[in-house]
């Protein structure tokens, strides 16, 4: 009998603040619909100065741990492209904040927005070796671009935590995947930059090429037929990008028109529309949105297209498990998004421009509404604490 392995639980966290993209549109001198419709984004999450990828990751993971599970977590994999140290894994801070045991391995993985999917696949392999164990995968990122740039409206921040186990309650990950890698300079962040460099047109082209190519590899390896897949979750740097990519795939593979293609991704967009870009986390926010929807997905096959600039992509599938709604966080997730403090452009710019005079020693003001905070830096040592 084949062992079923996949996502047993999933939860997310984001920043304490949110800003309506109409605020940015006014400063940029454009109509709000350029962002509402053109990008498919309505607002974005903004971090307080005492929040970062570690505090979001720990908060998302705590939501899972608070439910409890009898299987021991033996591995924590932290996926990010917003790394806070060139050597130490951000996951080690999360490990301490969560109170995990010393018998847990921790590692950080990176390949732009793709790395969370790599972490998920690595986790399934670890569980296959030791089915009694669990792996905690956390994807956490802050998307930052230059102020007043075309990309500014596609910023955001979030973390998604997933507990990977045998006999999962939510989603069984199927073993056949499609892969595509190509050296493309569409998006990158040099070591001396705090914001990314992006070639927008090339990035869109590279994304679509990778999506279709990864699908072709999946099909060539005997993966599921297109018409056996009920819904598709995509990486969403902005939600219209996912829609465009799926239209191309659906037309080339199945001959579907735009209306039919749009219906296959429509239920995956809302959380990303409200949070903004969160790099590694967006594809799993798409999954969370879909699982929280009204449609009964039990027994249905889902398709996933993960893309990371540079570029690596993977197409994989999973089967939604009977009883998945018993682990639903729908009401809790909507309340979390609604509870964010609404800020205007002036406060947003103040937060974005925060830069301590002495990067080796500074203290942050207590502002977060979450259970963990970034207290600042003491002699180049980052300080994290429970609130």
- Residues annotated catalytic, as ranges: 81, 113, 235
CB neighbour list of residue 228: distance below 8 Å, 6 or more residues apart: 301
**If DSSP codes are grouped into helix, strand and coil, which group holds residue 170?**
coil
Question: Is 93 assigned to a binding site?
Answer: no
Q: How far apart are CA 368 and CA 188, in angstroms?
A: 29
CB neighbour list of residue 355: distance below 8 Å, 6 or more residues apart: none
Report yes or no: 18 and 43 within 8 Å, Cβ to Cβ: yes
**b/e sequence 154-192, b meaning 16+ C-beta within 10 Å:** bbbbbbbbbbbbbebbbbbbbeebbebbeebebbebeee
CA distances from 16 to 48, 65, 106, 288 (A): 6, 21, 27, 19
Question: Is 244 assigned to a binding site?
Answer: yes
Question: Is 145 assigned to a binding site?
Answer: yes
Alpha helices in the chain (DSSP H): 21-28, 33-36, 53-65, 90-98, 115-129, 200-220, 239-254, 258-265, 270-275, 282-291, 330-338, 345-352
Residues at the annotated binding site? Answer: 145, 244, 277
Residues at the annotated binding site for (3S)-3-hydroxy-3-methylglutaryl-CoA? Answer: 145, 244, 277
């Amino acid at each position: 009998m084949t062992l079923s392995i996949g996502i047993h639980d999933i939860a997310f966290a984001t920043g304490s603040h949110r800003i309506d993209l109409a605020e940015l549109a006014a400063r940029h001198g454009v109509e709000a619909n350029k962002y509402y419709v053109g990008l498919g984004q309505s607002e974005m999450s903004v971090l307080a100065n005492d929040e970062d990828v570690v505090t979001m990751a720990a908060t998302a993971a705590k939501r899972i741990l608070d439910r409890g599970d009898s299987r021991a977590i033996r591995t924590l994999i932290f996926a990010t492209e917003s790394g806070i140290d060139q050597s130490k894994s951000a996951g080690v801070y999360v490990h301490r904040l969560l109170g995990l045991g010393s018998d847990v391995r921790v590692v950080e993985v990176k390949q732009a927005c793709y790395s969370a999917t790599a972490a998920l696949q690595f986790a399934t392999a670890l569980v296959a070796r030791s089915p009694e164990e669990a792996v905690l995968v956390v994807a956490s990122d802050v998307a930052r671009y230059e102020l007043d740039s075309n990309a500014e409206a596609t910023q955001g921040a979030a973390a998604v935590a997933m507990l990977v186990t045998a006999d999962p309650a939510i989603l069984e990950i199927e073993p056949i995947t499609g892969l595509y890698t190509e050296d493309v300079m569409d998006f990158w962040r040099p070591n001396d930059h705090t914001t990314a460099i992006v070639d927008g047109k090339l990035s869109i082209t590279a994304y679509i090429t990778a999506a279709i190519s990864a699908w072709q590899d999946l099909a060539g390896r005997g993966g599921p037929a297109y018409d056996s897949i009920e819904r598709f979750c995509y990486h969403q740097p902005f939600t219209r990008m996912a829609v465009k990519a799926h239209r191309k795939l659906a037309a080339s593979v199945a001959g579907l028109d735009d209306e039919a293609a749009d219906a296959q991704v429509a239920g995956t967009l809302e959380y990303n529309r409200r949070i903004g870009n969160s790099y590694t986390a967006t594809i799993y926010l798409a999954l969370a949105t879909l699982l929280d929807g009204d449609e009964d997905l039990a027994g249905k096959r889902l398709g996933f297209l993960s893309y990371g600039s540079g570029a690596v992509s993977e197409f994989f599938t999973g089967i939604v498990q009977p009883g998945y709604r018993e682990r639903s966080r729908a009401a809790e997730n909507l309340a979390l998004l609604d509870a964010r403090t609404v800020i205007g452009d002036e406060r947003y710019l103040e937060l974005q421009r925060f830069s301590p005079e002495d990067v080796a020693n500074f203290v942050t003001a207590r502002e977060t509404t979450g259970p963990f905070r970034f207290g600042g830096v003491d002699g180049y040592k980052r300080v994290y604490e429970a609130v």
